[in-house]
Structure 1
Amino acid sequence: MFSFRFLVLSVASVLGVFLLLASGEYATARPSRRTRDIAYLATTASEFDAERHRLDVYAPRKSAAPRPVVVFIHGGSWNSGDKNTYSFIGRRLAKQGVVAVIINYRLAPTVEVPAMAADCAHAVQWTRQHIGEYGGDPSRLFVMGHSAGAGLAALLATDNELFAKLGLATNPVRGAILDDPAGLNMYTYLQKMEYPGDAQYLVPFGHNQQVWRSVSPYYHLTASSPPFLMFVGGDTYPSIKNSSAEFRKRLQELGFQPGFTVLPGKKHIPMVLQLYWQNNVIYKQLLPFVGAASQ
Protein backbone atom coordinates (compact mmCIF):
# COMPACT_ATOMS: atom_id res chain seq x y z
CA MET A 1 0.00 0.00 0.00
CA PHE A 2 0.99 3.64 -0.28
CA SER A 3 -0.24 6.98 0.95
CA PHE A 4 -2.82 8.66 -1.27
CA ARG A 5 -0.81 11.84 -0.84
CA PHE A 6 0.95 10.79 -4.05
CA LEU A 7 -2.34 10.64 -5.93
CA VAL A 8 -2.70 14.38 -6.49
CA LEU A 9 -2.97 14.84 -10.24
CA SER A 10 -0.89 17.89 -11.10
CA VAL A 11 -3.06 19.92 -13.42
CA ALA A 12 -0.14 22.20 -14.21
CA SER A 13 2.06 19.32 -15.36
CA VAL A 14 -0.71 17.78 -17.45
CA LEU A 15 -1.43 21.13 -19.07
CA GLY A 16 2.24 21.53 -19.85
CA VAL A 17 2.27 18.26 -21.75
CA PHE A 18 -0.80 19.15 -23.75
CA LEU A 19 0.28 22.65 -24.61
CA LEU A 20 3.09 20.97 -26.51
CA LEU A 21 0.61 18.66 -28.21
CA ALA A 22 -2.22 21.13 -28.77
CA SER A 23 -1.58 21.78 -32.45
CA GLY A 24 -1.48 18.05 -33.12
CA GLU A 25 -4.74 17.52 -31.28
CA TYR A 26 -6.66 19.93 -33.46
CA ALA A 27 -5.06 18.60 -36.62
CA THR A 28 -6.01 15.01 -35.89
CA ALA A 29 -9.24 15.35 -33.90
CA ARG A 30 -11.06 18.12 -35.77
CA PRO A 31 -14.22 16.12 -36.68
CA SER A 32 -16.01 17.05 -33.45
CA ARG A 33 -17.99 19.95 -32.07
CA ARG A 34 -17.64 21.20 -28.51
CA THR A 35 -20.39 22.92 -26.59
CA ARG A 36 -18.81 24.51 -23.54
CA ASP A 37 -19.75 25.45 -20.00
CA ILE A 38 -23.31 24.16 -19.83
CA ALA A 39 -24.85 24.48 -16.38
CA TYR A 40 -26.13 21.06 -15.29
CA LEU A 41 -27.70 22.35 -12.09
CA ALA A 42 -30.31 25.09 -11.97
CA THR A 43 -28.53 28.40 -11.61
CA THR A 44 -31.16 29.37 -9.05
CA ALA A 45 -30.28 26.43 -6.77
CA SER A 46 -28.83 27.49 -3.44
CA GLU A 47 -25.77 25.26 -3.89
CA PHE A 48 -25.10 26.30 -7.50
CA ASP A 49 -21.41 26.96 -8.17
CA ALA A 50 -20.90 28.98 -11.34
CA GLU A 51 -17.59 27.24 -12.12
CA ARG A 52 -17.98 23.71 -10.79
CA HIS A 53 -21.55 22.89 -11.89
CA ARG A 54 -20.60 23.01 -15.56
CA LEU A 55 -19.96 20.44 -18.28
CA ASP A 56 -18.79 20.33 -21.90
CA VAL A 57 -20.31 18.16 -24.63
CA TYR A 58 -18.21 16.78 -27.50
CA ALA A 59 -20.19 15.33 -30.38
CA PRO A 60 -19.23 13.87 -33.76
CA ARG A 61 -19.85 16.40 -36.52
CA LYS A 62 -21.54 13.74 -38.64
CA SER A 63 -24.08 11.57 -36.88
CA ALA A 64 -26.72 9.64 -38.80
CA ALA A 65 -28.03 7.82 -35.73
CA PRO A 66 -27.98 8.40 -31.97
CA ARG A 67 -24.56 7.66 -30.52
CA PRO A 68 -23.51 6.06 -27.23
CA VAL A 69 -22.63 8.52 -24.48
CA VAL A 70 -19.67 8.56 -22.09
CA VAL A 71 -19.60 10.92 -19.11
CA PHE A 72 -15.97 11.45 -18.06
CA ILE A 73 -15.09 12.43 -14.46
CA HIS A 74 -11.63 13.88 -13.87
CA GLY A 75 -9.28 12.86 -11.07
CA GLY A 76 -7.26 15.05 -8.75
CA SER A 77 -7.37 13.50 -5.28
CA TRP A 78 -10.83 14.97 -4.61
CA ASN A 79 -9.35 18.46 -4.24
CA SER A 80 -8.19 19.51 -7.71
CA GLY A 81 -8.84 19.07 -11.42
CA ASP A 82 -10.84 20.77 -14.15
CA LYS A 83 -12.77 19.60 -17.20
CA ASN A 84 -10.84 21.91 -19.51
CA THR A 85 -7.67 19.88 -18.98
CA TYR A 86 -9.36 16.84 -20.53
CA SER A 87 -10.60 18.24 -23.83
CA PHE A 88 -8.35 15.72 -25.57
CA ILE A 89 -10.51 12.88 -24.19
CA GLY A 90 -13.71 14.53 -25.36
CA ARG A 91 -12.33 15.06 -28.84
CA ARG A 92 -10.91 11.55 -29.13
CA LEU A 93 -14.17 9.96 -28.08
CA ALA A 94 -16.20 12.14 -30.45
CA LYS A 95 -13.88 11.32 -33.32
CA GLN A 96 -14.54 7.63 -32.66
CA GLY A 97 -18.31 7.86 -32.70
CA VAL A 98 -19.10 8.60 -29.04
CA VAL A 99 -20.83 11.65 -27.59
CA ALA A 100 -18.59 12.64 -24.68
CA VAL A 101 -19.55 14.72 -21.67
CA ILE A 102 -16.67 16.08 -19.57
CA ILE A 103 -17.80 17.43 -16.22
CA ASN A 104 -16.69 19.61 -13.34
CA TYR A 105 -17.87 18.98 -9.79
CA ARG A 106 -17.24 20.69 -6.47
CA LEU A 107 -14.04 19.81 -4.64
CA ALA A 108 -12.59 19.66 -1.14
CA PRO A 109 -12.33 21.60 1.08
CA THR A 110 -15.51 23.33 -0.14
CA VAL A 111 -17.48 20.06 0.04
CA GLU A 112 -16.94 16.43 0.99
CA VAL A 113 -17.21 13.36 -1.24
CA PRO A 114 -20.97 12.77 -0.73
CA ALA A 115 -21.64 16.20 -2.25
CA MET A 116 -19.18 15.47 -5.09
CA ALA A 117 -21.07 12.26 -5.85
CA ALA A 118 -24.36 14.17 -5.78
CA ASP A 119 -22.92 16.70 -8.25
CA CYS A 120 -21.86 13.91 -10.59
CA ALA A 121 -25.32 12.35 -10.35
CA HIS A 122 -26.87 15.70 -11.30
CA ALA A 123 -24.53 15.82 -14.32
CA VAL A 124 -25.63 12.33 -15.37
CA GLN A 125 -29.27 13.30 -14.90
CA TRP A 126 -28.76 16.38 -17.11
CA THR A 127 -27.08 14.17 -19.71
CA ARG A 128 -29.94 11.70 -19.69
CA GLN A 129 -32.44 14.51 -20.21
CA HIS A 130 -30.60 16.56 -22.83
CA ILE A 131 -28.01 14.47 -24.66
CA GLY A 132 -30.45 13.68 -27.47
CA GLU A 133 -30.06 17.32 -28.52
CA TYR A 134 -26.39 16.57 -29.25
CA GLY A 135 -26.89 13.28 -31.09
CA GLY A 136 -26.48 11.04 -28.04
CA ASP A 137 -28.58 8.04 -27.06
CA PRO A 138 -29.69 8.40 -23.40
CA SER A 139 -30.40 4.67 -23.23
CA ARG A 140 -26.68 4.00 -23.81
CA LEU A 141 -25.14 6.17 -21.11
CA PHE A 142 -21.81 5.11 -19.59
CA VAL A 143 -19.55 6.70 -16.99
CA MET A 144 -15.76 6.85 -17.06
CA GLY A 145 -13.09 8.32 -14.84
CA HIS A 146 -9.46 8.34 -13.87
CA SER A 147 -8.11 8.09 -10.31
CA ALA A 148 -10.54 9.75 -7.87
CA GLY A 149 -12.85 10.34 -10.83
CA ALA A 150 -12.92 6.61 -11.50
CA GLY A 151 -13.96 6.02 -7.90
CA LEU A 152 -16.82 8.46 -8.38
CA ALA A 153 -17.76 6.79 -11.66
CA ALA A 154 -17.90 3.42 -9.91
CA LEU A 155 -20.09 4.93 -7.20
CA LEU A 156 -22.52 6.31 -9.78
CA ALA A 157 -22.74 2.87 -11.39
CA THR A 158 -23.42 1.05 -8.13
CA ASP A 159 -25.24 3.39 -5.72
CA ASN A 160 -28.79 3.61 -7.06
CA GLU A 161 -29.78 5.85 -4.17
CA LEU A 162 -27.87 8.73 -5.76
CA PHE A 163 -30.44 8.75 -8.56
CA ALA A 164 -33.43 7.85 -6.41
CA LYS A 165 -32.80 11.12 -4.57
CA LEU A 166 -33.20 12.89 -7.91
CA GLY A 167 -36.52 11.20 -8.60
CA LEU A 168 -35.24 8.55 -11.02
CA ALA A 169 -36.80 5.12 -10.61
CA THR A 170 -33.79 3.36 -12.13
CA ASN A 171 -30.09 4.04 -12.40
CA PRO A 172 -29.41 5.39 -15.93
CA VAL A 173 -25.78 4.20 -15.98
CA ARG A 174 -25.33 1.21 -18.30
CA GLY A 175 -21.67 0.54 -17.55
CA ALA A 176 -18.48 2.02 -16.14
CA ILE A 177 -14.93 2.37 -17.46
CA LEU A 178 -12.40 2.73 -14.63
CA ASP A 179 -8.93 4.02 -15.44
CA ASP A 180 -6.50 3.38 -12.54
CA PRO A 181 -9.29 3.89 -10.01
CA ALA A 182 -8.82 5.35 -6.54
CA GLY A 183 -11.34 5.33 -3.72
CA LEU A 184 -13.02 1.99 -4.41
CA ASN A 185 -12.83 1.08 -0.71
CA MET A 186 -11.96 4.11 1.40
CA TYR A 187 -13.69 2.54 4.39
CA THR A 188 -10.84 0.07 4.81
CA TYR A 189 -8.14 2.52 3.72
CA LEU A 190 -9.07 5.25 6.18
CA GLN A 191 -9.49 2.79 9.04
CA LYS A 192 -5.88 1.69 8.64
CA MET A 193 -4.25 5.14 8.36
CA GLU A 194 -0.99 3.38 7.53
CA TYR A 195 1.01 6.21 6.04
CA PRO A 196 2.17 9.68 7.08
CA GLY A 197 -0.13 12.27 5.56
CA ASP A 198 -3.20 10.04 5.34
CA ALA A 199 -5.04 12.41 7.67
CA GLN A 200 -5.35 14.83 4.74
CA TYR A 201 -8.05 12.55 3.30
CA LEU A 202 -10.25 13.31 6.25
CA VAL A 203 -10.82 16.68 4.53
CA PRO A 204 -12.74 15.22 1.55
CA PHE A 205 -14.05 12.14 3.38
CA GLY A 206 -14.76 13.53 6.85
CA HIS A 207 -14.53 11.63 10.14
CA ASN A 208 -17.67 9.50 10.01
CA GLN A 209 -16.80 5.88 9.19
CA GLN A 210 -20.32 5.19 7.94
CA VAL A 211 -19.79 7.93 5.36
CA TRP A 212 -16.51 6.32 4.31
CA ARG A 213 -18.43 3.10 3.70
CA SER A 214 -21.36 4.81 1.95
CA VAL A 215 -19.08 6.45 -0.64
CA SER A 216 -17.02 3.28 -1.25
CA PRO A 217 -18.34 1.56 -4.40
CA TYR A 218 -17.15 -1.84 -3.20
CA TYR A 219 -20.01 -1.97 -0.69
CA HIS A 220 -22.67 -1.12 -3.27
CA LEU A 221 -21.87 -3.94 -5.69
CA THR A 222 -24.78 -6.33 -6.26
CA ALA A 223 -25.76 -8.97 -8.80
CA SER A 224 -27.68 -6.25 -10.67
CA SER A 225 -24.75 -3.85 -10.99
CA PRO A 226 -23.88 -2.83 -14.57
CA PRO A 227 -20.78 -4.17 -16.36
CA PHE A 228 -17.31 -2.78 -15.72
CA LEU A 229 -14.16 -2.27 -17.75
CA MET A 230 -11.11 -1.80 -15.52
CA PHE A 231 -7.59 -0.70 -16.47
CA VAL A 232 -4.71 -0.69 -14.00
CA GLY A 233 -1.15 0.50 -14.52
CA GLY A 234 1.50 -2.16 -14.06
CA ASP A 235 3.65 0.38 -12.19
CA THR A 236 0.85 2.29 -10.48
CA TYR A 237 0.50 2.64 -6.73
CA PRO A 238 0.12 -0.59 -4.75
CA SER A 239 -3.11 0.57 -3.14
CA ILE A 240 -4.72 0.99 -6.56
CA LYS A 241 -3.52 -2.44 -7.63
CA ASN A 242 -4.83 -4.03 -4.44
CA SER A 243 -8.19 -2.29 -4.29
CA SER A 244 -8.80 -2.90 -8.00
CA ALA A 245 -8.05 -6.60 -7.55
CA GLU A 246 -10.44 -6.74 -4.58
CA PHE A 247 -13.13 -4.98 -6.59
CA ARG A 248 -12.67 -7.42 -9.45
CA LYS A 249 -12.83 -10.38 -7.06
CA ARG A 250 -16.09 -9.11 -5.60
CA LEU A 251 -17.57 -8.73 -9.08
CA GLN A 252 -16.54 -12.28 -9.88
CA GLU A 253 -18.17 -13.51 -6.67
CA LEU A 254 -21.38 -11.87 -7.88
CA GLY A 255 -21.18 -13.74 -11.19
CA PHE A 256 -19.56 -11.08 -13.38
CA GLN A 257 -16.51 -11.40 -15.59
CA PRO A 258 -15.40 -7.77 -15.72
CA GLY A 259 -12.91 -6.56 -18.26
CA PHE A 260 -9.66 -6.20 -16.35
CA THR A 261 -6.45 -5.15 -18.09
CA VAL A 262 -3.09 -4.44 -16.49
CA LEU A 263 -0.93 -2.21 -18.68
CA PRO A 264 2.73 -3.15 -18.15
CA GLY A 265 5.05 -0.30 -17.22
CA LYS A 266 2.32 2.32 -16.88
CA LYS A 267 2.37 4.64 -13.88
CA HIS A 268 -0.64 6.47 -12.50
CA ILE A 269 -0.64 9.74 -14.45
CA PRO A 270 0.39 8.17 -17.79
CA MET A 271 -2.72 6.00 -17.45
CA VAL A 272 -4.79 9.08 -18.32
CA LEU A 273 -2.24 10.81 -20.56
CA GLN A 274 -2.36 7.83 -22.94
CA LEU A 275 -5.94 8.75 -23.80
CA TYR A 276 -4.52 11.47 -26.02
CA TRP A 277 -3.71 8.77 -28.58
CA GLN A 278 -6.59 7.22 -30.47
CA ASN A 279 -5.23 3.70 -30.79
CA ASN A 280 -4.44 2.95 -27.16
CA VAL A 281 -5.81 -0.19 -25.52
CA ILE A 282 -8.44 1.65 -23.48
CA TYR A 283 -10.21 3.02 -26.54
CA LYS A 284 -9.90 -0.32 -28.30
CA GLN A 285 -11.86 -1.98 -25.52
CA LEU A 286 -14.13 0.96 -24.74
CA LEU A 287 -15.64 1.26 -28.22
CA PRO A 288 -17.16 -2.24 -28.38
CA PHE A 289 -18.08 -2.00 -24.69
CA VAL A 290 -20.32 1.03 -25.35
CA GLY A 291 -21.40 -0.12 -28.81
CA ALA A 292 -19.68 2.56 -30.86
CA ALA A 293 -18.63 2.47 -34.47
CA SER A 294 -15.29 4.25 -34.95
CA GLN A 295 -15.39 7.10 -37.45
Structure 2
Amino acid sequence: MASAIRRRLSVLIGGVLLMAISACSPLKMLNALTPDGSFDKTEGIAYGSDPRQQLDVYVPRHPVENAPVVVFFYGGSWNSGSRSDYSFVGEALASRGIVAVLADYRLYPQVRYPLFLEDGANAVAWTHEHIRQFSGDPKRLYLMGHSSGAYNVAMLALDSQWLGAVGMSPGDLSGWIGLAGPYDFLPIQNPEVRPVFFWPDSPPQSQPINHVSHGAPPALLIASRDDDVVNPTRNTAGLANKLRAVGVPVQDRYYSRTGHATLVATLSRPMRGLAPVLDEVTSFVKATPTQ
Protein backbone atom coordinates (compact mmCIF):
# COMPACT_ATOMS: atom_id res chain seq x y z
CA MET A 1 0.00 0.00 0.00
CA ALA A 2 2.73 2.45 0.98
CA SER A 3 4.71 1.75 -2.19
CA ALA A 4 1.61 2.25 -4.33
CA ILE A 5 0.96 5.61 -2.66
CA ARG A 6 4.56 6.64 -3.25
CA ARG A 7 4.26 5.74 -6.94
CA ARG A 8 1.07 7.78 -7.29
CA LEU A 9 2.66 10.75 -5.56
CA SER A 10 5.69 10.47 -7.82
CA VAL A 11 3.49 10.50 -10.91
CA LEU A 12 1.50 13.45 -9.55
CA ILE A 13 4.63 15.44 -8.75
CA GLY A 14 6.04 14.63 -12.17
CA GLY A 15 2.85 15.86 -13.81
CA VAL A 16 2.92 19.13 -11.87
CA LEU A 17 6.57 19.66 -12.76
CA LEU A 18 5.83 18.85 -16.38
CA MET A 19 3.37 21.75 -16.46
CA ALA A 20 5.74 24.02 -14.55
CA ILE A 21 8.78 23.50 -16.74
CA SER A 22 6.82 24.42 -19.84
CA ALA A 23 6.74 28.00 -18.47
CA CYS A 24 10.44 28.34 -17.65
CA SER A 25 13.84 26.86 -18.47
CA PRO A 26 13.18 23.13 -17.99
CA LEU A 27 16.76 21.90 -17.84
CA LYS A 28 17.84 24.57 -15.36
CA MET A 29 14.88 23.71 -13.17
CA LEU A 30 15.68 20.00 -13.21
CA ASN A 31 19.32 20.69 -12.39
CA ALA A 32 18.30 22.99 -9.53
CA LEU A 33 16.26 20.12 -8.07
CA THR A 34 19.09 17.60 -8.51
CA PRO A 35 21.01 16.67 -5.34
CA ASP A 36 24.79 16.39 -5.52
CA GLY A 37 25.39 13.90 -2.73
CA SER A 38 25.61 10.84 -4.95
CA PHE A 39 28.62 11.77 -7.08
CA ASP A 40 31.97 13.48 -7.39
CA LYS A 41 32.38 15.54 -10.54
CA THR A 42 35.48 16.42 -12.55
CA GLU A 43 34.68 19.24 -14.99
CA GLY A 44 36.11 20.66 -18.18
CA ILE A 45 38.40 17.85 -19.31
CA ALA A 46 39.65 18.52 -22.85
CA TYR A 47 39.47 15.68 -25.36
CA GLY A 48 40.46 18.01 -28.24
CA SER A 49 41.72 21.52 -28.88
CA ASP A 50 38.39 23.26 -29.59
CA PRO A 51 36.51 24.85 -26.64
CA ARG A 52 33.53 22.63 -27.49
CA GLN A 53 35.65 19.49 -27.18
CA GLN A 54 35.35 19.09 -23.43
CA LEU A 55 33.66 16.64 -21.09
CA ASP A 56 32.71 16.13 -17.45
CA VAL A 57 33.01 12.89 -15.48
CA TYR A 58 30.54 11.92 -12.74
CA VAL A 59 31.84 9.23 -10.39
CA PRO A 60 29.58 7.53 -7.82
CA ARG A 61 30.35 8.93 -4.35
CA HIS A 62 31.17 5.40 -3.16
CA PRO A 63 32.53 3.86 -6.36
CA VAL A 64 33.20 0.21 -6.97
CA GLU A 65 36.34 -0.53 -8.93
CA ASN A 66 35.69 -1.45 -12.57
CA ALA A 67 32.27 0.18 -12.59
CA PRO A 68 30.34 0.31 -15.86
CA VAL A 69 30.73 3.51 -17.89
CA VAL A 70 28.18 5.45 -19.94
CA VAL A 71 29.19 8.25 -22.32
CA PHE A 72 26.17 10.54 -22.83
CA PHE A 73 25.48 12.93 -25.72
CA TYR A 74 22.60 15.41 -25.49
CA GLY A 75 20.18 16.51 -28.19
CA GLY A 76 19.39 19.90 -29.71
CA SER A 77 19.10 19.34 -33.47
CA TRP A 78 22.91 19.63 -33.78
CA ASN A 79 22.35 23.39 -33.29
CA SER A 80 22.32 23.82 -29.53
CA GLY A 81 23.06 22.24 -26.18
CA SER A 82 25.61 22.08 -23.40
CA ARG A 83 26.77 19.30 -21.12
CA SER A 84 26.16 21.60 -18.13
CA ASP A 85 22.42 21.47 -18.91
CA TYR A 86 22.34 17.75 -18.19
CA SER A 87 23.78 17.43 -14.71
CA PHE A 88 20.65 15.50 -13.77
CA VAL A 89 21.72 12.76 -16.22
CA GLY A 90 25.13 12.49 -14.61
CA GLU A 91 23.52 12.31 -11.17
CA ALA A 92 21.02 9.69 -12.28
CA LEU A 93 23.68 7.34 -13.65
CA ALA A 94 26.08 7.89 -10.75
CA SER A 95 23.29 7.15 -8.28
CA ARG A 96 23.05 3.67 -9.84
CA GLY A 97 26.77 2.95 -9.56
CA ILE A 98 27.61 3.95 -13.14
CA VAL A 99 30.47 6.28 -14.09
CA ALA A 100 28.96 8.92 -16.39
CA VAL A 101 30.82 10.96 -19.00
CA LEU A 102 28.91 13.94 -20.45
CA ALA A 103 30.54 15.39 -23.54
CA ASP A 104 30.08 18.56 -25.55
CA TYR A 105 30.64 18.49 -29.30
CA ARG A 106 30.81 21.08 -32.05
CA LEU A 107 27.50 22.29 -33.44
CA TYR A 108 26.12 23.95 -36.57
CA PRO A 109 27.04 26.48 -37.94
CA GLN A 110 30.58 25.84 -36.73
CA VAL A 111 30.46 22.37 -38.28
CA ARG A 112 28.14 20.21 -40.35
CA TYR A 113 27.76 16.45 -40.76
CA PRO A 114 29.92 14.46 -40.17
CA LEU A 115 32.35 16.49 -38.04
CA PHE A 116 30.30 16.19 -34.84
CA LEU A 117 30.65 12.41 -35.23
CA GLU A 118 34.41 12.83 -35.22
CA ASP A 119 34.05 14.74 -31.94
CA GLY A 120 31.94 11.95 -30.51
CA ALA A 121 34.49 9.33 -31.49
CA ASN A 122 37.30 11.33 -29.89
CA ALA A 123 35.30 11.71 -26.66
CA VAL A 124 34.73 7.95 -26.60
CA ALA A 125 38.41 7.30 -27.28
CA TRP A 126 39.41 9.61 -24.42
CA THR A 127 37.04 7.72 -22.14
CA HIS A 128 38.35 4.33 -23.22
CA GLU A 129 41.92 5.42 -22.51
CA HIS A 130 41.47 7.34 -19.26
CA ILE A 131 38.37 6.09 -17.44
CA ARG A 132 40.27 3.70 -15.16
CA GLN A 133 41.51 6.83 -13.36
CA PHE A 134 37.86 7.37 -12.36
CA SER A 135 37.13 3.76 -11.24
CA GLY A 136 35.50 2.94 -14.57
CA ASP A 137 36.05 -0.21 -16.60
CA PRO A 138 36.81 0.45 -20.30
CA LYS A 139 35.61 -3.09 -21.02
CA ARG A 140 32.15 -2.12 -19.74
CA LEU A 141 31.70 0.89 -22.00
CA TYR A 142 28.27 2.06 -23.19
CA LEU A 143 27.09 5.00 -25.27
CA MET A 144 23.83 6.82 -24.62
CA GLY A 145 22.14 9.79 -26.23
CA HIS A 146 18.87 11.68 -26.50
CA SER A 147 17.39 12.95 -29.78
CA SER A 148 20.25 14.13 -32.03
CA GLY A 149 22.61 12.77 -29.37
CA ALA A 150 20.98 9.38 -29.86
CA TYR A 151 21.68 9.74 -33.58
CA ASN A 152 25.34 10.39 -32.75
CA VAL A 153 25.71 7.27 -30.63
CA ALA A 154 23.82 5.19 -33.20
CA MET A 155 26.28 6.22 -35.88
CA LEU A 156 29.26 5.50 -33.63
CA ALA A 157 27.86 2.08 -32.76
CA LEU A 158 26.73 1.08 -36.27
CA ASP A 159 29.17 2.71 -38.70
CA SER A 160 32.65 1.44 -37.87
CA GLN A 161 34.52 4.22 -39.68
CA TRP A 162 34.08 6.73 -36.82
CA LEU A 163 35.54 4.67 -33.99
CA GLY A 164 37.97 3.10 -36.47
CA ALA A 165 39.50 6.53 -37.07
CA VAL A 166 40.50 6.72 -33.37
CA GLY A 167 41.85 3.19 -33.07
CA MET A 168 38.67 1.60 -31.76
CA SER A 169 35.71 -0.33 -33.17
CA PRO A 170 32.04 -0.84 -32.28
CA GLY A 171 33.21 -4.17 -30.85
CA ASP A 172 34.81 -2.19 -28.02
CA LEU A 173 31.33 -1.16 -26.87
CA SER A 174 29.28 -3.33 -24.54
CA GLY A 175 26.13 -1.67 -25.87
CA TRP A 176 24.35 1.57 -26.68
CA ILE A 177 21.16 3.32 -25.59
CA GLY A 178 19.04 5.62 -27.74
CA LEU A 179 16.32 7.89 -26.32
CA ALA A 180 13.92 9.31 -28.92
CA GLY A 181 16.55 9.04 -31.62
CA PRO A 182 16.22 9.97 -35.31
CA TYR A 183 17.67 6.99 -37.17
CA ASP A 184 15.86 7.22 -40.52
CA PHE A 185 14.84 10.81 -41.34
CA LEU A 186 15.35 11.48 -45.04
CA PRO A 187 13.96 13.59 -46.61
CA ILE A 188 14.55 16.09 -43.81
CA GLN A 189 11.46 17.98 -42.69
CA ASN A 190 12.91 20.14 -39.90
CA PRO A 191 14.22 23.42 -41.42
CA GLU A 192 16.77 23.78 -38.60
CA VAL A 193 18.29 20.39 -39.42
CA ARG A 194 18.36 20.71 -43.21
CA PRO A 195 21.60 22.74 -43.50
CA VAL A 196 23.36 20.42 -41.03
CA PHE A 197 23.01 17.57 -43.55
CA PHE A 198 23.40 19.57 -46.80
CA TRP A 199 19.70 19.37 -47.75
CA PRO A 200 18.50 18.67 -50.42
CA ASP A 201 21.66 16.65 -51.12
CA SER A 202 21.69 14.85 -47.78
CA PRO A 203 23.81 11.72 -48.15
CA PRO A 204 22.06 8.37 -47.56
CA GLN A 205 25.10 7.19 -45.60
CA SER A 206 24.20 9.76 -42.95
CA GLN A 207 21.34 7.54 -41.80
CA PRO A 208 22.00 5.02 -38.98
CA ILE A 209 19.45 2.56 -40.34
CA ASN A 210 21.63 2.12 -43.43
CA HIS A 211 24.56 0.82 -41.34
CA VAL A 212 22.91 -2.09 -39.55
CA SER A 213 25.01 -5.26 -39.56
CA HIS A 214 25.16 -8.55 -37.70
CA GLY A 215 28.17 -7.52 -35.63
CA ALA A 216 26.63 -4.39 -34.09
CA PRO A 217 26.67 -4.07 -30.29
CA PRO A 218 23.49 -4.70 -28.26
CA ALA A 219 21.01 -1.84 -28.15
CA LEU A 220 18.32 -0.44 -25.87
CA LEU A 221 15.97 1.89 -27.77
CA ILE A 222 13.43 3.96 -25.85
CA ALA A 223 10.80 6.31 -27.25
CA SER A 224 7.59 8.13 -26.38
CA ARG A 225 4.46 6.92 -28.14
CA ASP A 226 3.27 10.50 -28.55
CA ASP A 227 6.55 11.96 -29.80
CA ASP A 228 5.60 14.64 -32.34
CA VAL A 229 9.21 15.56 -33.17
CA VAL A 230 10.78 12.20 -34.08
CA ASN A 231 8.33 9.56 -35.29
CA PRO A 232 8.81 6.54 -32.98
CA THR A 233 7.35 4.02 -35.42
CA ARG A 234 9.64 4.90 -38.28
CA ASN A 235 12.74 5.55 -36.21
CA THR A 236 12.83 3.51 -32.98
CA ALA A 237 10.65 0.60 -34.10
CA GLY A 238 12.11 0.63 -37.60
CA LEU A 239 15.69 0.41 -36.37
CA ALA A 240 14.82 -2.17 -33.71
CA ASN A 241 13.19 -4.40 -36.31
CA LYS A 242 16.15 -4.13 -38.65
CA LEU A 243 18.64 -4.93 -35.87
CA ARG A 244 16.52 -7.88 -34.77
CA ALA A 245 16.35 -9.19 -38.32
CA VAL A 246 20.15 -9.58 -38.47
CA GLY A 247 20.44 -11.11 -35.01
CA VAL A 248 21.59 -8.10 -32.98
CA PRO A 249 20.29 -8.17 -29.38
CA VAL A 250 17.90 -5.23 -29.07
CA GLN A 251 15.23 -4.11 -26.65
CA ASP A 252 12.73 -1.40 -27.54
CA ARG A 253 10.47 0.33 -25.02
CA TYR A 254 7.65 2.87 -25.52
CA TYR A 255 5.99 5.11 -22.93
CA SER A 256 2.76 7.08 -22.94
CA ARG A 257 3.14 9.78 -20.28
CA THR A 258 6.15 11.41 -21.93
CA GLY A 259 6.95 13.41 -25.05
CA HIS A 260 10.10 13.99 -27.05
CA ALA A 261 11.78 16.32 -24.55
CA THR A 262 10.35 14.90 -21.35
CA LEU A 263 11.62 11.40 -22.11
CA VAL A 264 15.15 12.38 -21.09
CA ALA A 265 13.74 14.47 -18.22
CA THR A 266 12.44 11.26 -16.60
CA LEU A 267 16.04 10.52 -15.66
CA SER A 268 15.78 13.37 -13.12
CA ARG A 269 14.62 12.59 -9.61
CA PRO A 270 11.46 14.76 -9.72
CA MET A 271 10.14 13.14 -12.91
CA ARG A 272 11.09 9.48 -12.60
CA GLY A 273 7.52 8.53 -11.83
CA LEU A 274 6.47 9.32 -15.41
CA ALA A 275 8.41 6.43 -16.96
CA PRO A 276 10.97 3.85 -15.74
CA VAL A 277 13.68 5.01 -18.13
CA LEU A 278 16.45 5.00 -15.53
CA ASP A 279 15.46 1.52 -14.37
CA GLU A 280 15.59 0.24 -17.96
CA VAL A 281 18.98 1.85 -18.57
CA THR A 282 20.38 0.46 -15.32
CA SER A 283 19.12 -3.05 -16.04
CA PHE A 284 20.52 -2.97 -19.56
CA VAL A 285 23.94 -1.75 -18.46
CA LYS A 286 24.27 -4.18 -15.58
CA ALA A 287 22.90 -7.22 -17.41
CA THR A 288 24.61 -6.90 -20.82
CA PRO A 289 27.76 -9.04 -21.11
CA THR A 290 31.00 -7.17 -21.62
CA GLN A 291 32.53 -7.19 -25.08
Structure-2-length-normalised TM-score: 0.83
Residue matched to 2:216:
225
Q: Which runs of 5+ in 2 are unaligned?
A: 1-20
Choose the corresponding residue for 1:17, options 12, 23, 26: 26
Cα displacement (A) at 1:122 = 0.2
**Contact 1:15–1:85 (8 Å) recurs in 2:** no
- Residue aligning to 2:280: 285
Q: Which among 249, 264, 287 is matched to residue 272 of structure 1?
A: 264
Summarize deviations over 1:7-49 as a string: whole Å, max 9, x none. Answer: xxxxx979823544545412xx4120000010012xxxxxx31
Deviation at 1:175, TM superposition (A): 0.9
Deviation at 1:238, TM superposition (A): 6.7
Q: Which residue does 2:44 correspond to in 1?
A: 37
Cα distance, 1:207 vs structure 2: 4.4
CA deviation profile, 1:90-143 (whole Å, cap 9, x unmatched) = 011111100000010000111012100010000000000000000100001100
Partner Cα distance (1:205, 1:287) in 2: 33
Q: Superposed, which structure 2 residues align to 1:199-214 within 5 Å? A: 199-207=191-199, 209=201, 212-214=203-205
Which secondary structure state, in structure 1, belongs to the residue aligned with residue 100 of structure 2?
strand
Q: Could you tell me how far apart the structure 2 residues matched to 1:262 and 1:154 are?
A: 18
User: How far does the alpha carbon of each residue in 1:39-63 deviate from its partner, in whole angstroms, 9 at most, with x for none?
Assistant: 012xxxxxx312x100000001212
- Percent identity among equivalent residues? 32
Structure 1 Cα separation of the partners of residues 226 and 160 of structure 2? 33
Structure 1: gaps (5+ residues):
1-11, 42-47
Matched residue type, 1:109: P
Whether contact under 8 Å (2:225, 2:254) holds in the other structure is yes
AA partner of residue 284 (structure 1)? D
- Matching residue's letter, 1:221: V
Deviation, 1:239, is 4.3
Superimposed CA distance per residue, residues 158-190 of structure 1 (whole angstroms, 9 cap, x where no aligned partner): 1111122123366422211111112x123x333
Distance in 1 between the 2:26 and 2:196 partners? 28
TM-score, length-scaled by structure 1? 0.82
Q: Report the AA paired with residue 252 of structure 1.
A: R
2:239 pairs with 1:247? yes
What secondary structure does 1:189 align onto?
Answer: coil
3-state SS of paired residue (2:92): helix
What residue number does 1:122 align with?
Answer: 122
SS in 2 for 1:25: coil
| Residue pair 2:129, 2:138 contacting (<8 A) in 1 also | yes
SS at match of 1:79: coil
Residue pairs, 1:134-283, within 5 angstroms: 134-168=134-168, 171-182=171-182, 184-186=183-185, 188-190=186-188, 195=189, 198-207=190-199, 209=201, 212-237=203-228, 239-241=230-232, 242-277=234-269, 280-283=275-278
SS state of the match for residue 240, structure 1? coil
Q: 1:102 maps to what in 2?
A: 102
2:203 is paired with a residue whose SS is: helix
Over aligned residues, Cα RMSD in angstroms? Answer: 2.2
Rounded Cα–Cα distance in structure 1 between residues aligned with 2:256 and 2:191? 31
Name the aligned partner's letter for residue 206 of structure 2: V
Q: CA deviation at 1:202?
A: 2.9
User: 1:249 deviation in Å?
Assistant: 1.4
**2:18 corresponds to which residue?**
none
Count, aligned residues: 263
TM-fit CA distance, 1:150: 0.5
